[in-house]
Structures are given as structure tokens and as C-alpha cells.
A and B are shown apart, each in its own frame.
Chain A
Amino acid sequence: MSKELIRLRDLCMAYDDELVLDHLNLYINDKEFLTLLGPSGCGKTTTLRIIGGFTTPGSGDVLFDGVRINDVPPYKRQINTVFQKYALFPHLNVFENVAFGLRMQRREDPADPKRKVKLPEEEIQSRVLEMLEAVSLKGFENRRTDALSGGQQQRVAIARALVNRPKVLLLDEPLGALDLKLRKDMQIELKRIQQQVGITFIYVTHDQEEALTMSDTIVVMDKGSIQQIGTPEDIYNEPKNAFVADFIGESNIIDGVMVRDKLVQMYGRQFPCLDGGFTENEPVDVVIRPEDIDIVPVEQGQLTGVVTNVTFKGMQYDIIVDFRGFKWLIQTTDHSPVGARIGIKIDPDGIHVMKKSRYSGLYGDYSSFSDEYDELDAAEPEEGGDET
């Protein structure tokens, strides 16, 4: 990709003795769409606020284009932000909201370089109108912001930030308040805008699907540290640990033992896989995505279990299968009735072996990230099931 724009070096941050950022290191490239993904309290918003200049890190450096900007106030950074719930100015109409940043700008007077002058009104007019058109809000100039729908407010917030032509746009859970359909549309819209203006977007969300859809790079965070950095494909297909596997998509995470390279043992059975580089008989976590499991007749199955629950999801069925007390989630287009005994088969490329980490054993049964989970302490298992 292109050149590096922002570097975070060894950032630490604590509120009331609670570590929010734990030696965070990260670089962000120019024109990149980077997403900070993680549950609430993972430090993603703090990271964003440090980049924006609203929070000063406890220690560590923030470099912008190679220059340390720790002490540069927000209004001097070439960075603009789209805030959670938009933070539109309620006493100003749409036009004035978008024009706010331009009205604050001062530039050198062409006639007298020592003097700073305001932008000419005509320029403000044309830039605001142009920007409103870009976000499909032409004709809304005189509306009060509270008379707009959520999606429209969202676009005003984006226009208000982008009209200043920043080098970086920060977006703090900008789609959180929208309904599902609108959210999907806005995801595409945001990606389109990013490509159109060609600047760096740093996007904060706890919604893995949003992250996967839009990002060039995803940074998965938890408890103030980065768990994994990679493209959406990398993150999804090769999660580094149980946390990432659980957080990104739905997974069955099973205790296993690496017999040797390319052979892992679960439930006393050995499964061929593609992973290597472990010591012999090393205990590992094994991740199997629900869609990577094929249902086969009992006699052909590598494992057999009983169907306990079937949910129709439109594209597929979500089937819960009980293997000796441990419940797996399987996504398949084939229907199996509850109570049926089935066999399953997993291709070697469907098995992802991970080193044991601090997250091992936290996710009992099948697990999937949900909003309820968001409310709970990140350390608490989503389902209180015992492992067998």
C-alpha cells in the first residue's frame, strides 16, 4: 500500500488505575480504511480520541507524517471527526453546521501575507453546497438538524467533517444509531465516499460485520491491546486466538492437541489440517467456522452427534448439534430434523489451529458475538456452559 501517515508508539493510558491502553503500537497508511474493532471498553474509542487530540495519552507518542503531535490541540490537526450520535449543533441549520469549520478557518491574506483573513463567503457557499450534494442532501440547507432522519443527520455529520478537506477522517461508531437496512446502505455509501475523496478513514466499531465489509485493514482490540491486525480475509480465516475467532464471525472453539504438524486431535479423534509450527502434543485451541462443517451420514462422519435445535435463517439453517455434551453450531443449506443423529466432516482447510492464549477456555460451546455480550464484562463467557 501507500506510505505511512500516522504512527502510534507505545501508547499507555489509565483511568483511575484501570489500564485502558496497554503499550499500543500501530501505524496507519495514507488513504487506508482502517477499522478499530472490539467490544466496549477495549480502548478503541480512546485510541481514536488520542488521534483526534481530545485525549492526551498517559505515555507514548502520536506521530503524524513523522511529526510528534501529542501536544497539538484538536483545532490545529488536519483531522476531522464524525462523532457518535453525530454531535450536530442543534442551534444551527444544516448549512451552518456544514459551514462551521470553514467559518473558523483563517488563511493568509494574498495581499498581505502577515494578516490572516476569513474564507470568502462565496467560497464557503460553494464548498458547502458541493459537499451537501456529495452526501445527497441538496435542498436541505435551511432545515433544522433535529428535523432530519438519522441517516440524514449522519450524512450532515460526514459533510461537516469532510468539507474541511482533512487528511484523516475519524469515525466513532457512526452507524450505531441507525436501523439495519440503513446501516447496510451507509456502509456502502461510506466506502464510496472514502474512495471518492481518497483520504484515510479510521473507523471505530464493535460490529464485526461493518468492519469486514468496509475495511482495508482491521485492528482487533481487547483490554487495551491489539489482538490481531490484518485484512478482513486474514482476520476471518486465520484468527490469531480464541478472542479474535469468537469476535469475528461465529465459531466453534474446541480444545485440541497438536499431534504433529498438520494433524490435530479433538475428542480423541485425529483430524488432518493445514497448520504447523507447534511442538508435538502441544495443547491448542481449534476454531471451526459453522459454514465449514459438512453434514454427512453417520457412518461417513468423523464425529457423530444429535441435533438439538434448528433455526431457519433464510439463506441457511443454523443447526445446533450436541457432541458428547459440547454444542456446535453448524450452518448448512440441508435441513436435519431435531433429534436426528448425524455425522459431520471437516475439510483440512476448515480447521484453524491457534496457540493457547489468555482467552482459551472462555468461550464454552459454540459462541458468537452478540449485543448482549457487549453489555457484559468482556471476560465473562457468553454462555455459561461447561466444557467437556
Chain B
Amino acid sequence: MKRRRRIGSRALTALVFLFLYAPILLLIVFSFNKGNSNIVWTGFSLDWYKSLFQNRLIMRSVYTTLLVSLLATAIATVAGTFAAIGFYSLRRRSRTVLSTVNSIPMMNADIVTGVAMCLFFVAFFTFWGDFSVWFNGVQSVVVLPERLTLGFGTLLIAHVTFNIPYVILSVGPKLRQMDKNLVDAAQDLGCTWMQAFWKVILPEIKPGIASGALTAFTMSVDDFIISYFTAGSSSSTLAMTIYGMTKKRVTPEINAVSTLLFVTVLALLVVVNLREARAERSDAERHPVSRKLTRLLDTPKGRLFRRGAGVVLAASFLIAVVLLTGATNAQPVVNVCSWGEYIDEDLITQFEEETGIIVNYQTAESNEALYSLLKSGAGDYDVVVPSDYMISQLIEEDMLAELDYGQIPNYALISERFKGLTYDPQERYTVPYAWGTVGIIYNETMVEEPITSWSALFDDRYAGNVLMFRNSRDAMATALSYLGHSLNTTDEAELREAFQLLKDAKNRGVYQSFVMDEIFQKLEGGNAAIGVYYAGDYLTMLENNEDLRFVIPEEGSNWFMDAMCVLKEAPHYEEALSWINFIASTEANLANMDYIWYASPNQEALEQYPAYYEELYGEELDQETYDIIAAPAETLDRCEAYLVLPLETRKLYNDLWTELGI
């Protein structure tokens, strides 16, 4: 009985550890996978690490992360140490109150801290704007910048803020352990308070400061949520970049960078713990060598050496920071917000080399997410790439700037078919980026006959095997198409009918789940038979699972156009136009089309792509694939683009979606 219980508890412990570490282990193992699958092991390789170091987006965010972490750690350590000393010299009652106040930010949900800081910064910027306008009006000696935005500065302030409590928390106990009379003794022997701090307090609390700094650094490197809300559009930390990349799917490249991040943080934690363990061991047990070293360093010469080393370290740190920040600030920039995996990143490098303009490239999850980002004032972007209906909405709300097409000669290369579309009939705001269609992706081996109709998405035969869109517009579109209604209908009866179809199917258990980019994993892994998604993404999935097929149902479907726009308040208008012109070029369109497998709106690129493909891969591009990337005119004729819906209808969509309860 007793024995059995012990086995049970051991098994439980093992299970706990398994759950804790198996996922990380899996991630580490697959970061060394040769292929790009996270499920099938195809052999050992370091390719993903290599491509990681060549990925400029990742490398730049590593740099941002290190810079912000180091600076935030340095500032927070100094501020936190002095704050801890201040706490320490207070009466016990006030100290208890302050300690509690101090620990609230650590306990507080990061998301609350992040949102609060974002709100605070935006509110401050508004106030600052008014103030500086007034100030610049009344005098002309000092000209204050009128527009402040989220960026590296706010990111740094946020990191310093959330790091300080950790420093205080780890310095505090060291101070309390210290003999209270030490400071008095130092002052008694001729020190001013500041001298006493350097000569007596500092050596005593050094271990606390060091572990506080290490904790702060770890927290900084680690942080995603607070950074996400305070970094704005021009800076992106490593965690934010990883998050952006996962929107599409988890590539082994992400495994590699996550592995490195994990190992770094682990190493720091080990250092912290070792330090603490060593501090606890009594000094008598110290290793003779380290004792000898200590004695050596205690000689006048040794002290000189130590001081010298400290000065050199501090100086090189400062120089590094100045150089690094200087390097980024001197150059012109353009802030771009697009979708994940939606550009061939070599284009960014190429553009930067040609023009000397630095590109801050960020991604949003969906049109709706982008919209709320812009509305909240947190996004300080120049160029955005929304879809057709969202462009209409942005124009309607006067959020876009008119483009000076004189500076975009490549606009002429855009196919006439894609100019003057309903979202921008007068061609004033947009330059098309890429277009595509929505269709059904299914696994040949898991269905009874080839699928040709939307009915498959409501068919009980595939119950539990169907993946539906997790956004209202796209999900409703499938039902509206099936029922033969317009995708842009505002008729409540039609909408309710479509909704009922979805709801019934959901209640009958047809849908395995409602997904966005998770669809990649599910279909590639053979975990679902049928899904609905974008044509370009189908081709990516096909690379990993040859059984998949794509069809634009006979009832017709949605086709979409994503176009580049410049925001009305864009701080870098000229640079934004350069970027748009560059991306509109035939070369860029070819590269992008090959990389993302969405169709180009550039007439030359559309025509040249098969040849480009053949030259690049040494094999012919089959017509079927080409037609999936760039649907032929007769297919497009069956498809309908989204238009912006009237507010009433948008509200109805919202209500119905809520009722569906996902």
C-alpha cells in the first residue's frame, strides 16, 4: 500500500517534469531539424541557426533587445539600489507600506502594466503636443518637437520601470543583513555619506546588486507583453519579432531563436543561483585559489588593477551604447506594418542599401488588429498594407494620406485591371501590393470525392474534420457564397440565414475548430481533412504535405487585394513613397511573388513569373500552380471582393459572431 503510493507520487513528479520540459526539449530538438517541419525529423543540421543569423529582422531585434536590456538594467540597478537604501533608512511602518507598494508592479499582470503605460505615454504625448505648440508659439529660442511617438525611448522607460522593483527586492535583504552601525562607523572614521556608500555599503550589498541586475536583465530580455505595448512601430524586441513570425506558423528558425533565448536565460539564472549559493557558503570553506586571488587583489597594486578594469569596462560599455544608438539615429527611416511572412526580407536589405533608409518592419495579425492599433495611437507607422475593405474604412475615416504618384513612377507598371478598384476609385491613396483568392484546402486521402462546393464546409460526413475561419467576415463569406448571396450583402435576412447555417453546422459538431494561422499545422500534419484559407498559403502547405488540394468552389469565392497606403500623420512621408515605389517595381514583385506565393498586381511580374521560376529552380512552373497563385480572369469573375460594410451591418456581424460563441 505504502509502496504503491510512493510509486504513484514518483510517477506524478515525473509527469509534472515531463509536462514542464518536454515542449522545450521538442523545440530544441527540432531547431536542429534539416527539413522545415516541426513533426517529421529529416536529419541534423545547423541550417536554421545559419539562416537565423542572416535574418536581418531577427538580428536587428536582437540588437534592440540587448540595447534596451543593458541600458534598462544599468539604469534600474542604480535607481533601485538607491531606492532600496532609502527604504532601508525609513521607519519600519513606512518601509512595510513601501515594500508592498514596490511588489505590486511585480504581481500585477503584465498586460495591465503594458496597457497602462501605453495609455500614459499616449496621453502624455497629446499633452506635450499642445504644450510644445504653445511654447514654440510664444518664443523662438528653443524649438520643441511637436510630435512625440512611442519608440525606443518609451520602451526603455517601461523596462526601467518594471525592472526597478526586482533590484529593490534583491538589494533590500542585503541591506537588512548589514550591521546597522557600519555606515556610522565609516562616517565616524572620516567618511562623508557618499564615501561611506562607496567604501562600505557598496562592498556589502554588491552580491545583492549583482543578482538584482541579473534578474532585471533576464526580465528585460524575457519581456514581451509590456514591450509590445510600449515599443511603438520603430523598435521591436526579439520576443516581439518571434511573436510576429509565429503568426504564420512556427518555423524551425523560430525554434532556433527560441532555443538561443532559452539557453541565454537559463545561463543567467544559473549564474544568479550559483552566486547565491556561493554567498551562503561560509568564507572559511573558500577555495584556496580564490582566497589567494582575493588577497592578491587586496594589495595596493591589485586595487589599482581592479579599479582600472572597472573603469575600462564602464567606458567600453558607454562607448558601445553611444556607437550603437548613434548608428540607428543618424539615418532616415521608414516604419512599415504589414502581415507576417508577407515579404521577401532580402528586399528590405536591398532597399536599405540602395537608399540608405532604414526600414522598421513590423507585422499585425489581421486587418481588424491593425485598425485598432492605428486607432489607439500606439502605431506610429508610415506605410501599412491593409486589405481592400479596410482601406475603404480608413479612407472613410480620413486616416490615409494622398499619394504623390509623381514620386512613384513604378505605379505605371501596375496592371490596369487592379487600378481604380472600388476601395480607391480615383486612385488617390493606394498602390496594390498583392492579391489572392480564398478557397477550400482539403486532404485528398481523407475525403470521399474531390470537393467542388462550399457544401463540404457544412457536411456532416466530415464532422469533426473541418476547420473554419476564426474571423466573422471570412466565416460568414463561406456561408453567403454557398447560399448564393453577395459577400457584401446588407440584407439582415440573408445574413441571418447564413449565420444559421454556420451555427447549425457548429452545433452538429462539423467544425473541429475555428482557426487562423494554426491551419498550417493542422492541415500539414493531417489532423483535419478540410479547411478554408488563402491560395498562396495552400502552396506553402503543399510543400509539407503532398496530399493537399485546393479548390475555388463553383459557387464563387472572395478575392482580395492588399495595397500599400501612407498614413495621414506619417512622420516619414518621402521615405514612405520611396519604399512604395521600390516595392512596386517588377523585380520586387517577382521576388515577393516567389516568396509569398500571392499574386502580384504588376503586369510585367505576372507575365514574367513562370520564366523567373524556371530560371531560379531549373524546372518549369506548371500551369495549375500558376493558376492557383494568380487566378485566371474567368475564375476571378466568379469571385467577389469585400467592400466596407455600413456601420449597422458591421454591428450585426459583431452581434452574430458573439452569439456563435467562439
Residues of A within 8 A of B (CB): 49, 52-54, 73-75, 79-81, 83-85, 87-91, 93, 96, 100-101, 104-105, 121, 142, 144, 146-147, 160-161, 164
B298→A74 contact, CB < 8 A: no
CB distance from B187 to the nearest CB of A (A): 4
17 CB < 8 A contacts A-B: A49-B184, A54-B187, A73-B192, A84-B181, A87-B179, A87-B182, A87-B185, A89-B203, A91-B203, A100-B189, A104-B191, A142-B295, A144-B283, A147-B284, A160-B189, A161-B188, A161-B189
B136 beta carbon closer than 8 Å to chain A: no
The interface residues of chain B lying within 8 Å CB-to-CB of A104 are 189-191, 195
How far is B291's CA from A147's CA once the two chains are assembled, in angstroms? 13
B204 beta carbon closer than 8 Å to chain A: yes
How far is B187's CA from A80's CA once the two chains are assembled, in angstroms? 10
CB distance from A272 to the nearest CB of B (A): 52
A74→B184 contact, CB < 8 A: yes
B186 beta carbon closer than 8 Å to chain A: yes
Residues of B within 8 A of A (CB): 179, 181-182, 184-192, 195, 199-200, 203-204, 283-284, 295, 298, 300
Instruction: Please tell me which one of the listed residues B187, B203, B204, B298 contacts residue A75 in the complex, with CB atoms under 8 A apart.
Output: B187
A-B pairs, top 7 by smallest CB distance, nearest first, are: A104-B190, A87-B181, A101-B189, A87-B185, A91-B203, A83-B181, A74-B187
A83→B184 contact, CB < 8 A: yes
> Which among A89, A144, A147 has the greatest number of chain B C-beta atoms within 10 A?
A89
The interface residues of chain A lying within 8 Å CB-to-CB of B185 are 81, 83, 87-89
CB-based nearest A residue for B200: A89
B189→A73 contact, CB < 8 A: no
B179→A75 contact, CB < 8 A: no
Extra inter-chain contacts (15) besides given A52-B184, A100-B199, CB under 8 Å = A49-B184, A53-B187, A54-B188, A73-B187, A74-B188, A75-B187, A83-B184, A87-B184, A89-B203, A93-B298, A101-B189, A104-B189, A104-B190, A142-B295, A161-B188
A91→B191 contact, CB < 8 A: no
Name B's interface SS: helix
The interface residues of chain B lying within 8 Å CB-to-CB of A88 are 185
The interface residues of chain B lying within 8 Å CB-to-CB of A73 are 187, 192
CB-based nearest A residue for B189: A101
> Which among B187, B191, B300 has the greatest number of chain A C-beta atoms within 10 A?
B187
Name A's interface SS: mixed
CB-based nearest B residue for A121: B300
A52→B188 contact, CB < 8 A: yes
How far is B284's CA from A161's CA once the two chains are assembled, in angstroms? 27
Instruction: Please tell me which one of the listed residues A75, A85, A142 contacts residue B188 in the complex, with CB atoms under 8 A apart.
Output: A75
Instruction: Please tell me which one of the listed residues B189, B195, B283 contacts residue A164 in the complex, with CB atoms under 8 A apart.
Output: B189
CB distance from A377 to the nearest CB of B (A): 20
CB-based nearest B residue for A144: B283
B298→A81 contact, CB < 8 A: no
CB distance from B279 to the nearest CB of A (A): 12
How far is B133's CA from A99's CA once the two chains are assembled, in angstroms? 61
CB distance from A91 to the nearest CB of B (A): 4
CB distance from A70 to the nearest CB of B (A): 16
CB distance from A124 to the nearest CB of B (A): 11
How far is B187's CA from A147's CA once the two chains are assembled, in angstroms? 25
The interface residues of chain A lying within 8 Å CB-to-CB of B184 are 49, 52, 54, 74, 81, 83, 87
A80→B188 contact, CB < 8 A: yes
CB distance from A101 to the nearest CB of B (A): 4
How far is B298's CA from A333's CA once the two chains are assembled, in angstroms? 60
The interface residues of chain B lying within 8 Å CB-to-CB of A84 are 181
The interface residues of chain B lying within 8 Å CB-to-CB of A83 are 181, 184-185
How far is B298's CA from A83's CA once the two chains are assembled, in angstroms? 25
The interface residues of chain B lying within 8 Å CB-to-CB of A87 are 179, 181-182, 184-185
The interface residues of chain B lying within 8 Å CB-to-CB of A85 are 179, 181
How far is B187's CA from A53's CA once the two chains are assembled, in angstroms? 9
How far is B196's CA from A100's CA once the two chains are assembled, in angstroms? 11
How far is B20's CA from A158's CA once the two chains are assembled, in angstroms? 57
CB-based nearest A residue for B91: A16
CB distance from B49 to the nearest CB of A (A): 43
CB distance from A165 to the nearest CB of B (A): 12
